[in-house]
Amino acid sequence: MKKFVVAILMLSMVLGMAAAAPAPIKLRLSEIHMEGYPTTLADREFARMVNEKTNGRIVIDVFANGVLNATEAEGIEALVLGELGFARVSAAPVAEFVPDLNAIQLPFLYKNSEHMWAVLNGQVGQDMLAKIQSSGSGLIGLCWYDAGSRCYYLTKKITTPKEMAGLKIRMQDNKMMVRMTELLGGVSVTGIGSNDIYPSIVSGIIDGAENNWPTYDTKGDYKAAKYYILDYHTRVPEILLMSEASMKMRKVSAQDLEIIKQCAKATQEYEIAQWKAMEKKSEANVRAGGTIVVELTPAQMQLFQDAMVPLYKEYGAKYQNIINAIADVGKKF
Ligand code: BDP
Res 288: pLDDT: 98
Q: Whole-angstrom Cα distance, residue 236 to residue 174?
A: 12
Distance 150 CA to ligand 1 centre (A): 10
Residue of 213, 208, 211 lying closest to 226 (CA atoms) = 208
Q: Which one, of 212, 203, 214, 175, lies nearest residue 191 by Cα?
A: 175
Q: Are residues 226 and 188 in the same domain?
A: yes
The mean per-residue pLDDT over the stretch 208-233 comes to 98
In a domain? residue 2: no
In terms of domains, do 138 and 65 share one?
yes
The verdict on residue 106 lying in a domain is: yes
Residue minimizing CA distance to atom 2 of ligand 1: 90
Q: Tally the domains of the chain.
A: 2
* Residue 10 maps to a domain: no
Contact 168, 205 (CB under 8 A): yes
- 180 is a domain residue: yes
Q: Is residue 53 located within the same domain as residue 118?
A: yes
Average pLDDT, stretch 25-30? 98
Average pLDDT value for residue range 115-121: 98
d(CA 73, CA 84): 13
Distance CA 214, CA 225 (A): 15
Residue 223 lies in a domain: yes
- Mutating to test ligand 1, I would choose from 40, 69, 211, 222 the residue with most ligand atoms within 8 A of its C-beta, which is 211
Confidence of residue 22 (pLDDT cuts 50, 70, 90): confident
- Who contacts 107 (Cβ-Cβ below 8 Å, separation ≥6)? 180, 233, 234, 305, 308, 311
Q: Is the CB of 72 under 6 A from ligand 1?
A: yes
Q: What is the pLDDT of residues 304-315, one digit of tens each?
A: 999 999 999 999
Residues 253 and 303 grouped into a single domain: no
Ligand 1 pocket check for 89: Cβ under 6 Å: yes
**pLDDT for 228 beyond 60:** yes
Are 99 and 247 members of one domain?
Answer: yes
Instruction: Look at residue 243 and give its three-state secondary structure.
Output: strand
Average pLDDT taken over every residue of the chain: 95
Which residue range is the domain that position 291 belongs to? 150-235+284-330
Percent of the chain's residues with pLDDT above 90? 93
**Is 73 a residue whose pLDDT tops 80?**
yes
Question: Is 167 in the same domain as 97?
Answer: no
Is residue 119 one of the residues assigned to a domain?
yes
Tell me: do 107 and 210 sit in the same domain: no
Going by CA atoms, what residue is nearest to atom 6 of ligand 1?
194
Query: Residue 108 is part of a domain; what is its CATH number?
Result: 3.40.190.170
Residue 280 banded pLDDT, cuts 50, 70, 90? very high
Alpha carbon distance 71, 93 (integer Å): 9
Residue nearest to atom 5 of ligand 1 (CA): 194
Model confidence at 3, pLDDT cuts 50, 70, 90, reads low
Pocket lining: 212 vs ligand 1, CB cutoff 6 Å: yes
Q: Is the pLDDT of residue 118 over 70?
A: yes
Examine residue 4 and state whether it is found in any structural domain, yes or no. Answer: no
pLDDT tens readout for residues 171-189: 999 999 999 999 999 999 9
Q: Where are the beta strands (DSSP E) in the chain?
A: 25-31, 58-63, 86-90, 139-145, 150-154, 168-170, 187-189, 208-211, 227-234, 238-243, 292-294
165 in the same domain as 27: no
* Last residue of one domain, picked from the residues 246, 262, 280: 280
| CA separation, residue 174 to residues 13, 77, 311 (Å) | 57, 14, 13
* 13 in a structural domain: no
Is 252 a pocket residue for ligand 1 (Cβ < 6 Å)? no
Let me know whether 104 and 90 are in one domain. yes
pLDDT of residue 1: 47
Instruction: For residue 111, report the phi and psi dihedrals to the nearest 5 degrees.
Output: -75, -35
Q: Both 82 and 171 in a single domain?
A: no
**More confident: 5 or 54:** 54
Model confidence at 145: pLDDT above 60: yes
**Ligand 1: distance of its center to the CA of 194 in Å?**
6
Q: What is the pLDDT of residue 75?
A: 98
What is the pTM for the complete model shown? 0.94
Confidence category of residue 15, pLDDT binned at 50, 70, 90: low
Residues 206, 302: one domain? yes
Q: Is the CB of 147 under 6 A from ligand 1?
A: yes
Q: Count of CB atoms within 10 A of residue 71's CB?
A: 21
Do the bridges between strand 86-90 and strand 292-294 make them parallel or antiparallel, or are there none, so unpaired?
Answer: unpaired
Q: Calculate mean pLDDT across residues 78-103.
A: 98
Positive or negative: CA dihedral 299, 113, 170, 199: positive
Do 314 and 206 share a domain, yes or no?
yes
Report the pLDDT value the prediction gives residue 205, as an integer from 0 to 100: 98
The best mutation among 89, 213, 215, 217 to test binding of ligand 1, ranked by most ligand atoms within 8 Å of the C-beta, falls on 215
